[in-house]
Structure 1
Amino acid sequence: MFGDFYELLAAAKKLKQVNISVAVAQEPGVLEAIKEAEDAGLAKAILVGDETVIRPMMTKIGLSEDNRVINIPDLDEAALRAVELVHNGEAQVLMKGLINTSNFMRAVLNREKGLRSGSILSHFAAFEIPGEKKLAFHADGGINVAPNLSQKRDILINSLSALKALGFTRPKVAVLAANEQVSPKMQATIDAADLVAMAQAGELPECELEGPMSMDIAASCESAEHKGIESKIAGDVDLFLFPTVEAGNLVAKTLIKYAKAKNAGIIMGATHPIVMVSRSNKAESKLNSLAMAALIVRGLQIN
């Protein structure tokens, strides 16, 4: 369990450095995060993109000129080359730079040089929320729009893999819905009950999973007691599994904007972790994401 991102960064600093391949690296926020990661001893980077733009940015930011830069001005070609570096084992983490998400993902899913694993891709995020005792992990607020039961199972497996790599032995998981009662009118409640049944049957990686759970119950043992609901995880949830991308995305942005939460996010389900954060995110969020990816790489022993 990590109390905050300071603890997560401290854990990552103790591990062997990872190599990060940056697709279309001519983005100041990305390069600032790379510099901070290098200064902290977390990682080294291979920067793929337009060298005539990247080099001046490196100088301005103070990023070492010793970093390897691969000059490929074309955006799609640069993305594919960055992915290929990870595919070939020259880097262990892929990071998105200044390129459209759909073009970036096309390179990630390239059949010859991409990072397909056979699983679906899903977003795995961490939040440091003021007043809370530990980091909260969320899935999936970024990729899968309206996942069905099978997809939710895959999202859960991806997320549990990440948590295991981060040191969790039996993560506490809340499968979220609008309320705690299973209703034929609310598919999210039916799916939650089915996931609980899978967990009880031993069909999922080890975890303490409950659902359907409303957010107030998941976040507060007092709310559970007030409603007369018995729960082993209320108020102590590690992973919040959202029913739709809208639910996860809205909660995430609300936490960041109004609760001043710090955050990190990566994509799981590929052969290697992928750091893909919004350009509007602070360099701190990008650094947190790189640190989380580095811990997962080492925890899963990815080469």
Structure 2
Amino acid sequence: MSEVITPPVKGDGPTPPRAHYEELIAKTQKIDAISCAVVHPCDETSLEGAIEAARMGIIRPRLVGPAARIRAVAAEHGFDLGDLPIEDMPHSHAAAERAVALVREGQAELLMKGSLHTDELMRAVVAKEGGLRTERRISHVFIMDVPTYPLPLFITDAAVNIFPDLETKADIVRNAIDLHQGLGLGRPRVAILSAVETVNPKIPGTLDAAALCKMAERGQIEGGDLDGPLALDNAISPAAATIKHIGGKVAGRAQILIVPDLEAGNMLAKNLSFLANADAAGIVLGARVPIILTSRADSLKTRLASAGVAALYADYRRRNAPLKGSAP
């Protein structure tokens, strides 16, 4: 293995910088490993992530893909597959369909993306016949570990919904709130981002932000404190919020950032990753089960964090009511 992650030991003094992921992974040691269908793990990084997550007791993986190819990758890189079950499928498309079927059959509570393209996996997930749709809109959340920010920072949606309308944004908010609470992080402070902090009819995102806040006020969105529109500076900087005389629970202390569209979210997340040295775990929500969506460029630490987030949320869903329409 190229990198081994060890959960932090409680009681060893103050939490060290950049320990958000380690804390999440440590929480997984208190729950049973979650059954997970790993879709087409046919390269070094995806197979290593699944094996290491299994070694740490985060997931119980079932590898779904061409068995000979998976074993060849393991042999080439010195990975011990042990007794991990392999569902032999001829190609990535068949692997995605079989992994979704495993969820519907009750044999998997998570999906993990391997070396296939995201679109190929999601096509099987959202299929009208045999997919994993619920009444919620599917959305993606980046769980960012930013060196200069004291809290885990959620950014959504930067990977699935390109130009979400108001109804879709409401589900994006609901999914993120549910995840925040499911990870034991409490009631989140949710900032609806725009370029400005005032409602401007010429900027449609500010109208959506105002509407989302009113929906929360009227009980249509529950479980979090919403404010917006907020520009990025006064969402995360107490000084900027003070200078602009913006009060309330959210300004300067946001935990969830709701972006106006995919392009803005993707650029924000990648700016933090490449300019601020942040890590970005990724998970897809709103389907019958959480989906671990990683990038080929992700480190092993980030892959384990994504698996840990998904496992904790799956355990939370198991103990609480699942999303409406999500029963197999």
Which TM-score band applies after superposition, normalised by the shorter structure?
over 0.9
User: Match of 2:192, as an amino acid?
Assistant: V
CA distance in 2 between partners of 1:273 and 1:158 (Å): 11
Count of residue correspondences: 302
How far has the Cα of 1:269 moved from its partner? 0.7
Q: 1:5 is matched with which residue?
A: 21
Residues 101-157 of structure 1: per-residue CA shift (max 9 Å, x gap): 222112112334321112211001111111321111111011111111111001111
Please point out which of 34, 41, 46 is paired with 2:50: 34
SS at structure 2 position matched to 1:300: helix
Residue 38 (structure 2) pairs with residue 55 (structure 1): no
Residue 289 (structure 2) pairs with residue 272 (structure 1): yes
Q: 1:72 is matched with which residue?
A: 89
Residue 132 (structure 2) pairs with residue 152 (structure 1): no
CA distance in 1 between partners of 2:245 and 2:291 (Å): 41
CA distance in 1 between partners of 2:244 and 2:42 (Å): 52
Unmatched segments (≥5 aa) in structure 2: 1-17
Please point out which of 46, 53, 60 is paired with 1:44: 60
Please point out which of 254, 258, 275 is paired with 1:237: 254
User: Match of 2:91, as an amino acid?
Assistant: D
CA distance in 2 between partners of 1:36 and 1:85 (Å): 22
Counterpart contact for 1:26–1:98, Cα < 8 Å? yes
How far has the Cα of 1:3 moved from its partner? 5.6
How far has the Cα of 1:162 moved from its partner? 1.2
Counterpart contact for 1:3–1:133, Cα < 8 Å? no
CA distance in 2 between partners of 1:209 and 1:21 (Å): 35
Counterpart contact for 1:46–1:67, Cα < 8 Å? yes
Q: 1:141 is matched with which residue?
A: 158
User: Match of 2:71, as an amino acid?
Assistant: R
User: Match of 2:173, as an amino acid?
Assistant: L
SS at structure 1 position matched to 2:190: strand
SS at structure 2 position matched to 1:19: strand
Counterpart contact for 1:92–1:272, Cα < 8 Å? yes
Identity of aligned residues (%): 35
SS at structure 2 position matched to 1:231: coil
CA distance in 2 between partners of 1:121 and 1:66 (Å): 33
How far has the Cα of 1:61 moved from its partner? 4.0
Unmatched segments (≥5 aa) in structure 1: none
Q: 1:253 is matched with which residue?
A: 270
Rate the CA distance shift 1:287–1:184 in 2: closer, same or farther, 3 A.
Answer: same
Q: 1:128 is matched with which residue?
A: 145
TM-score (norm 1): 0.95
How far has the Cα of 1:206 moved from its partner? 2.0
Q: 2:280 is matched with which residue?
A: 263
Alignment map for 1:113-262 (pairs within 5 Å): 113-262=130-279
Residues 177-230 of structure 1: per-residue CA shift (max 9 Å, x gap): 101110110001011001111111111112111000000001111101111222
Which region of structure 1 is more displaced relative to structure 2, 68-77 or 277-286? 277-286
Counterpart contact for 1:23–1:83, Cα < 8 Å? no
TM-score (norm 2): 0.88
